[in-house]
Amino acid sequence: MPELPEVETTVRGLKAKVLNRAFVDVWSDWEKIIKKPKSFKEFKKEIRNKKIKKVWRRAKNIIFDLSEDYSLLVHQKMTGHLLYGDWDKADNANSYIHLKFFLDNNKTLALSDLRKFAKVELWKKGDLLNSKEFKNLGPEPLDKNFNFQKFRKLFVGKKGKVKQVIMNPYVIAGIGNIYSSEALWRSKIHPGKSVAKLSNKELKSLYKAIKKVLELGVKLGGESFSDYRKPDGTKGNFDSERKVYKREGQKCQRCGVKIKRIKVAQRSSFYCPFCQKL
């Protein structure tokens, strides 16, 4: 959290606000949030006067392509979210601001992060695109060219539980705990089922469910039952569509049996024991 829908919502919200804006200055009370370069002083010097040419997403990363062939990467991790406007400390979910970019239109691009796990990196554009971690990311599930045949090939020779595999960003990009649980519920697949035992019918159902739940998440502006907020500070609206995630003990909206929680690869996974039999 945030996952693909939240990151895509952030990117779309910022596109309308920050394109062609330049960085005037940077402030932080937690300089360790800058991972590249190692010195905050150097980061501040390098980014000053750079103009934002493009904002895009790769997996859960937000990338700002800048002038002079630089790229600014922001990964919000568990509790981070980017805000645009006139932001300062506030007594709400946006109050944990640890990084502020001051723009040339007197607005602020701020990063609020309760747990301080987010990372910010300044790269030369070519080095970022050719970095090992970036190049090894899996395909984008909402890409127009990502068809069922390509999805099915991802599972060839794979081992492990389906929940674990679809959350692996080097298999498929951007899916985390929330949307994997939701997609598996919609496709009636137990999160602990081995990927080697998935039938072609189940794979088709899972492919469609992943597409549908991610598209719905983007349409509704993401999930904000926890820390995530949109760039204007407001909540996303996916919560009304959440069927199993964090609903342990509540009745399944399809069959009425109580939702259960198990651990899959050290992560909580929510499922219906009747609809999603192992």
**Which of 2, 5, 141, 191 is an active site residue?**
2
* Alpha carbon distance 126, 146 (integer Å): 25
User: pLDDT tier at 225 (50, 70, 90 boundaries)?
Assistant: confident
* Alpha carbon distance 175, 26 (integer Å): 31
Please say if 42 is a catalytic residue: no
User: pLDDT tier at 266 (50, 70, 90 boundaries)?
Assistant: confident
Structure tokens at 174: 């951007």
Cα–Cα distances in angstroms (integers) from residue 45 to residues 40, 42, 53, 125, 186, in the given order: 9, 5, 19, 17, 49
pLDDT at 1 over 90: no
**Which of 3, 121, 140, 182 is an active site residue?**
3
Please say if 60 is a catalytic residue: yes
pLDDT in tens, 116-147: 999 999 999 999 999 998 999 999 999 999 99
In the chain, ranges of CATH 1.10.8.50 domains: 148-271
- The pTM (predicted TM-score) of the whole model is 0.95
In the chain, ranges of CATH 3.20.190.10 domains: 4-135
User: pLDDT tier at 92 (50, 70, 90 boundaries)?
Assistant: low
Cα–Cα distances in angstroms (integers) from residue 201 to residues 134, 180, 181, in the given order: 32, 18, 19
Count CB-CB contacts under 10 A for residue 260. Answer: 17
Asked if 130 and 181 count as a contact pair (C-beta separation under 8 A), the reply is no
What pLDDT does 199 receive? 97
**Which of 53, 107, 188, 267 is an active site residue?**
267
Structure tokens at 270: 């929510």
**Which of 44, 50, 57, 60 is an active site residue?**
60
CATH fold, domain 148-271, is: Helicase, Ruva Protein; domain 3 (1.10.8)
Q: Phi then psi for 260, rounded to 5 degrees? A: -115, 165
Question: E strands of the chain, at which residues?
Answer: 23-28, 34-36, 52-58, 61-66, 70-75, 80-85, 97-103, 108-113, 119-124, 260-264, 267-271
pLDDT in tens, 16-73: 999 999 999 999 999 999 999 999 999 999 999 999 999 999 999 999 999 999 999 9
- Coil, strand or helix: which one is 215? helix
Per the prediction, the chain carries an average pLDDT of 95
Please say if 3 is a catalytic residue: yes
Please say if 6 is a catalytic residue: no
Asked if 40 and 30 count as a contact pair (C-beta separation under 8 A), the reply is no
What pLDDT does 35 receive? 97
4-135 carries CATH number 3.20.190.10: yes
